[in-house]
Structure 1
Amino acid sequence: MISEAFIKDLPKTDLHIHLDGSLRIPSLIEMARERKVELPSYDEEGLRELVFKDGYNDLNEYLHGFKYTCGILHDPESLERCAYELAWDNIQEGVRYMEVRFAPMLHVNANLTLEEVLVAVDKGMRRAKREFNDKLLHNNSSEPPFEYGLITCAMRFFTGGFSPYYQKISEAHQYMPQRALYGLASLELARAVVSIRDKTDLPIVGFDLAGAEYGYPAEDHEEAFDFVHKHFMKKTVHAGEAYGPESIFQAITKLHADRIGHGYHLLNEEYIKDPSIEDRAAYIRSLCQYIAESRLTIEVCLSSNMDTDPNLTSVADHPFRQMKELKLSTTICTDNRLISHTTVTRELKLAVDHFGLSNRDLKSIIIYGFKRSFFPRDYRQKRIYVRRIIDYYKEIEKKHEVDVAPVNDY
């Protein structure tokens, strides 16, 4: 029996977590009051009843909460505070490496530049890292230090109402075809984050494509991803969340994806729309074979998928089961801690309870998170860090009297 206490003590990763979907409700309320941002309720119980619910009817209802979280993240202080608190929320449940992602252009305004957005988020994460790691040194602990990276998200689709930046770019290019405009904004972000990464010590480790998937194909953003690819930046792409295998195929072939965010509909033949694909089963088999052979990791978010797909009535029916049977590389993530009322510990416990994971399975999934991370330093340092994680994992196994499981490479 794998207990929740054991999972909580284990060193873990979260490679798919959105800053604006993972705030603390008391902090949201306090900052909204300070910034005169209107909320439907100013107490935690009211917000949980009206906005951040135990369950959602559809994706639109799920996304409604971002209206309020993004509404306060428009100054360095709020961004730093939320990043700092998010880092500590993860540290306190045993997460030792995380890659926090956000769309910086949603926070740019007349008083806040893109670089200032990135600096503010990094400042919060860095402060939490310093505090925790200094404590480890002081106590001469064998526990691995906390590390993190930043992932910047381009948007598949936007309107001028998304943010002041998107309003300006929409007004400046009124006669440009919409899909071309989306690609232009992504390319501008790509050029900016590569430049900022190269001239600063900010740990910008990845480039992502997020937002409405169906009807907004990855190929619109091909030039942006070509640019970051040629500048040695890793890529993760939201794909297969609201669309199917073809979206994942595009993420790999058009955007050079190193990891896939969600991949929920990877195995769903009904989501294949291209009439030229006559043998859908064969198409999916070939796609899965390619993903398996290349060890391209899928960032699985169980609770989030439960929240956004009304047809998924039990975690046990999530395609994660088939992904494991196919030996695909997977890591378990939260997506949005606030919106989905979850933690990494909870997500892993859901996987253990509903898919019958053994200690060996659990260990493989967790260690893969560290191995497939976009670690911000030298590869040799990454190997040393992962080795330290594995050694500490064994300590926790012994502490909880759990059989020491070997680590699989495949």
Structure 2
Amino acid sequence: MPRYSTDFIRAMPKADLHLHLDGSLRLDTLLAMAKTLKVPLPADTVEGLQAQVFKPAYQNLGEYLRGFQYTCAVLRDANHLTQAAYELAQDNLAEGVNYIEVRFAPQLLMDLSRGLDFDTVMRAVNAGLQQAEQAYNNSAAVLEQGKPPFRYGIINCAMRMFAAKGFSPYYDQLFQLMRDFEPMQVIKLAAMELVRASVRLRDDEGLPIVGLDLAGQESGYPASKFKEVYEFAHQHFLLKTVHAGEAYGAESVFEAIAECHADRIGHGYSLFLPERIQDPAIVDPVAYSQRLASFMADKRIAIEVCLTSNLQTNPAIADIRQHPFGEMLKNRMATVICTDNRLVSNTTLSDEYKLALDHFDIPFKRLKDMVAYGFKKNFFPGNYVEKRQYAKQCLQYFDRVAQQYGFID
């Protein structure tokens, strides 16, 4: 098994396609923002927050998600959104990540009492990313050293579910206004409003909103309930990813593809865990998983793999080698290494690549394929010709770095 040094991993161009803004703040920034907005936190130091909230390991998914109540609270401010987006881009650029797709649920961050409507939230996030893009692309690293320029896209997350009270100011008000509707009707209405607003801002203002995602609790909230929402995205050329197979069986992954036109799958962790399949109509879960994997591999439907996050939300895994990523590799699936949440999982994209490369048999050619998927399966904010040119530029730079580290003669 080839050994890939940390320096090589950091130097090679990379793309992160599954990156949550509200799960990737800097801790010192979170503390400063909380002080400005008078948001109470469980601790007032970086070390305290790491001990109480953002831990190295979590007991379950609920504990993993606990920190989002604090990050979302401090991000309900336009200046904070711009700062967080800018710093996230800077943190990625510092480790050789030159393409990112930042995702978040705008409706979790909206607060009309502070003037934070959907458009304001989106413009504020884009402003921070755009500022980082312009600064880096005019730097010596790009102009003189020939590194690939920095590019980004924004993926908006619809929520599968939200509570009737306390989820966010937007959802609180929506439930209050529509108190005679069934909860699922309200949830779907919010998702449809999100996708319509996303298409409008993309088309009217040119914001690089490149995709739609569906996040939140899978069990009880299948992707098929949002078929109309995804159909609207599909008809308006908005690309689609779905959190699927993260905490539910392989049938959730198939549903995302068949019902929601998913171009990529977020996590897909349960794809090779037939024991998680719950649909009684599936009489041979093992065969079902294998056929689905073969179908996805043939269609090149990429999986956004988040190793550390999966380990933290599935504490029963004793060894990283038990992660279904190994089966994904054996089945020649298109896999893209991603972080999920840089803060909550205490990770970087370089850390995630090193975790994969240190524990799975990934020859150099396969590594290049994985890197290439990050640039070829992304939702690039431009036309297909531009996307191909950018991917070619990034992979040519990958070859330069590989040559410097002795992988290519």
Query: 1:93 is matched with which residue?
Result: 95
Paired residues of 2:14 and 2:99 also in contact (CA < 8 A): yes
User: Which residue identity is paired with 1:76?
Assistant: A
Tell me, in whole angstroms, the C-alpha distance in 2 between the residues paired with 1:324 and 1:45.
Answer: 37
Query: 1:59 is matched with which residue?
Result: 61
Query: 2:188 is matched with which residue?
Result: 183
User: Which residue identity is paired with 1:232?
Assistant: F
TM-score (norm 2): 0.97
Flag the 1:210–1:371 CA change in 2: closer, same or farther, 3 A.
same
Match for residue 231 of structure 1 among 215, 231, 236: 236
Paired residues of 2:142 and 2:149 also in contact (CA < 8 A): no
- Matched residue SS, 2:76: coil
User: Which residue identity is paired with 2:149?
Assistant: P
How far apart are residue 143 of structure 1 and its match?
Answer: 0.7
Query: 1:318 is matched with which residue?
Result: 323
Paired residues of 1:180 and 1:220 also in contact (CA < 8 A): no
Tell me, in whole angstroms, the C-alpha distance in 2 between the residues paired with 1:124 and 1:44.
Answer: 24
Q: After the TM superposition, which residues 4-403 of structure 1 pair with which residues of structure 2 at under 5 Å, given as runs?
A: 4-110=6-112, 111-136=115-140, 139-159=143-163, 160-403=165-408
User: Which residue identity is paired with 1:140?
Assistant: E
Tell me, in whole angstroms, the C-alpha distance in 1 between the residues paired with 2:185 and 2:222.
Answer: 12
- Matched residue SS, 1:202: coil
What's the RMSD between the two structures over aligned residues? 1.1
Q: Percent identity?
A: 48
User: Which residue identity is paired with 1:154?
Assistant: A
Deviations 1:194-214 (A, max 9, x none): 111110121000000001111
User: Which residue identity is paired with 1:227?
Assistant: F
Number of paired residues?
404
Deviations 1:177-220 (A, max 9, x none): 22222211111111111111110121000000001111111111
Tell me, in whole angstroms, the C-alpha distance in 2 between the residues paired with 1:33 and 1:86.
Answer: 20
Paired residues of 2:137 and 2:143 also in contact (CA < 8 A): no
Query: 1:408 is matched with which residue?
Result: none
Paired residues of 2:26 and 2:343 also in contact (CA < 8 A): yes
Tell me, in whole angstroms, the C-alpha distance in 2 between the residues paired with 1:203 and 1:251.
Answer: 23
- Matched residue SS, 1:161: coil
* Runs (5+) with no aligned partner, structure 1: 405-410
* Runs (5+) with no aligned partner, structure 2: none
TM-score (norm 1): 0.97
Paired residues of 1:206 and 1:234 also in contact (CA < 8 A): yes
Comparing 375-384 with 171-180, which one deviates more in the overlay?
Answer: 171-180
- Matched residue SS, 1:153: strand
Paired residues of 2:230 and 2:260 also in contact (CA < 8 A): yes
Tell me, in whole angstroms, the C-alpha distance in 2 between the residues paired with 1:152 and 1:304.
Answer: 20
